[in-house]
Structures are given as C-alpha cells and as structure tokens.
Structure 1
C-alpha cells in the first residue's frame, strides 16, 4: 500500500502547488489499533487523511476539524479532491460553505456544532446518540431487564442535558462516563463506570481524585450517582 500512497501523494502535489504550503504533508501510520498507512494533509486545526486503495476499492478521504472526522468522500477524481482539500485544509471553509460548493459532501449533525464553535459539545452529544442507539438495538434483538434499565437511565440523564457535558461510551458491558475529549480513556482518566445488574439494580464504580470507590444501588440518577456526577463535572475536559 505504501507505493500506492506515495504515487497518490506525488500526483496530488504535482496537480496543486498549494498543497506544498500545508504544514504536514506526509505518509503516516495510525497509532491505534489498525496501524494503517495513510496520507496526512494537516494545517493547524484542519486536516484530510487519505486511505489507500484496498483490493481495487476507491481511496477514502476523511476530512477532520481538530482531529475529529466531519465528513468523508470516496473518489478517484484527483482534481476534484485536490480542490476540496485546499478549501477545507488551507482556506478553512466552513462545512456549510463546503456543502454549497461541493454537492457530493454529506454532513452530519456534528458539522453544525463545529461551525457554531461548539465542537466538544457536539462530540459529547454524538457519543450519547451512539450509545443510546446501540442499547436500543441490543434490547430489540434480545430484550432483558439490564438493557431496559440502562436505556431508562440514559434518557433520564439526557433530560437534564448531561449529554452536553459528559462523554459516554461502553467498555464491554460497562457504561463509562467521563470528561474525556476523545473516546480513548485509560485507568488514570477520571471516569464513572456503571454495570446494570437487572431487577432495577446497578453497581457504580469511580476513580475520582485518585480514589477508587464502588457502590450497588437502585437504577436512578438521584442520590449517589448524582453526587459523583457533580464531582466529575468539576474535572477539566481533556
């Protein structure tokens, strides 16, 4: 794949001298999980990552804002893609403007938050959307009390706008709440873990202020969970 990337990078740079002004114009390797090679075209907080041909497939261009994917396009039209890269990465055009000029771009809700200067809020809400959708799918396939309790608690927390302030995710069967900007967290990241036991019971874990605690209680926001969430909201987003 390296040769295909080198060829594509060379052709792009030949077609558009402006791409040589980009701070980072290189072939790199994703550090997490895949170790997949790609072309990184990054200038300040905007970037485009190009993933190579794979078994004859069309290259994928992923356009990011502050390292967060905003939209992606699969295309073999090098000239068109060069124009999109220049407008996004160098000219810093807003998502709505990009959509106006390049009709093939499909934008999700996250693009609107970034355009309003509320990118972190949008990322958090997106994590809740995905987690709630996943739980609902699992429940529809194999209904059980634990998932039903989880869905109810998620809705309860969303009703008071915690989805704008916290990231949510799932590690195995544990629901994880944190102030982490990205979804990758480790044991040193302040977080709250919730395991749903069924019969309207849950076990809550936390590692706030370097103190590990756990408690089993009724599935509801009010009470112990509310108290430790107030504590985690004091953590800086990072």
Structure 2
C-alpha cells in the first residue's frame, strides 16, 4: 500500500508545489497493530490531512484535522479535488465558512463552527455529550429503564451547562465524566463513573488524586453527585 501512497504524494507535490513547504509531508506508519501499513500525512501547524487507502478499490480516505481533532473526512479517487481541498485546509488554513461554498461536498459539522470561533474544546465536549445521549437512547427491553434514568440525568446536567465543561464518555455501560480533552483517560486522571442500576438507582464511583470513593443513590444531580462534579471542575483540562 505504501507504493500507491508514494505515487499519490508525488502527484500531489507535482500539481501543488506549495505542499512541499509543509511542516510534514511524508508517509507515516499506522499505530499498532497496523504498523505494517502507512498513511500519507500532510501537516501545517494545527492543520493536517491524513490519507489512507480504503477498501479493495483503494479509494482515498482523507481525514482533515484541526489541532488533532477530526473536523471532516472525504472518500475520493479524484486526486485533483483532493489536492485542492488540502491546499485550502492545510496550506492556506482557510476557515470552514469560506470552504463550504467552494467545496459543497464537504459536510462540516458542529465542531467546525466551534473551532472557527476559537472554542474547539467546548465543541469537543458538547459533541461527547451528544454521543452519550445517543448511546443511552438506544437502550431497549430490559435495559430501557436504565437508559431512561440516564437520559433524565444527562438532560439535567446539560441544562446547567456541564456539557460545555466536562467530557462525557462511556466504557461498556459506564457513564464517565472527566476533564480529559480527548477520549480515554490518562493514568491517575480524576473522573466520575456512573452506573445506572435501574429503578431510579445509580452507583457513583470517583477518583480524585488516587483517592477512590463509591456510593449508591437515587438518580439525581443534586447532593453527592453535584458536590463531586464541583471537585472535578476544579481540575485542569488535559
């Protein structure tokens, strides 16, 4: 696969020589366990595009990022069009509001708007809450009451603006709140983990500076959970 990407890199550089000046314009090994395959990375400060070959037809999958956060992606075999978008996004660092008229095929979502306003972290947090709501809405049958409890609590917390200040995550059926900017917790990171038990009950586990606590309570924001969240909000975003 690296040979095809080398040819693509050469074609892009020949057609758009500005790309040669980028901070990064190289094939990079994919992380384990796919390190035997490569991506083409084009990076300019906080803007980047990562190109990989997708499927048996080897369509170009292009993921465009801003500060290591995926903003949009395209699947295309049109190298000329790919090059035009890379030139605008990576080299010129054009804003999404300008690009959406020039490239109507791009689906810019909520994150693009927040990043353009200089509120990328806030946008990432809000998107994480959107995803967690979708997760619990999908609960059915014997899990339905747990999902309903979760949605009721999540909507209460969003009403007081916590979706702009905390990341909402999920591991198996656990609901995790943290100040982590990206998905996944660093070692010894502070967090609150909620398990919905059904029948308006939940288990709350927390970790602050290595000190772990656990409590079972009604599904409500006020009281113990609210106090724990106040402690979490003091933590720096990492």
In the superposition, the TM-score normalised over structure 2's length comes to 0.94
Query: Which residue in the other structure is 1:193 paired with?
Result: 193
Please state how far the C-alpha of 1:109 moved relative to its aligned partner. Answer: 1.2
- Tell me, yes or no, if structure 1 residue 120 matches structure 2 residue 140: no
Provide the C-alpha distance between the structure 1 equivalents of 2:34 and 2:231, rounded to a whole number of angstroms.
35
What corresponds to 2:167 in structure 1? Answer: 167
Instruction: Name stretches of at least 5 consecutive residues in structure 2 with no aligned partner.
Output: none
Post-superposition offset of 1:225? 0.4
- Structure 1 gap segments, 5+ residues each: none
**Inter-CA distance 137–73: structure 2 relative to 1 (3 Å threshold):** same
Note if 1:80 corresponds to 2:57.
no
CA distance in 2, matches of 1:10, 1:115: 31
C-alpha displacement of 1:53: 4.0
Paired position in structure 1 for 2:209: 209
Q: Distance in 2 between matches of 1:225 and 1:33?
A: 39
Aligned to 2:70: 69
Q: 1:4 touches 1:53 (CA, 8 Å); kept in 2?
A: no
Confirm or deny: 8 A CA contact 1:87 1:93 kept in the other structure. yes
State the alpha-carbon separation in 1 of the partners of residues 214 and 137 from structure 2. Answer: 26
Tell me, yes or no, if the aligned pair for 2:189 and 2:209 is still in contact at 8 Å. no
Deviation, 1:153, is 0.7
Counterpart of 1:99 in structure 2 is 100
Aligned to 1:233: 233
Between 1:2-11 and 1:31-40, the stretch displaced more is 31-40
Q: Once structures 1 and 2 are overlaid, which stretch shifts more, 181-190 or 104-113?
A: 181-190
Q: Which stretches of structure 1, 4 residues or longer, exceed 2 Å deviation after superposition?
A: 29-37, 141-144
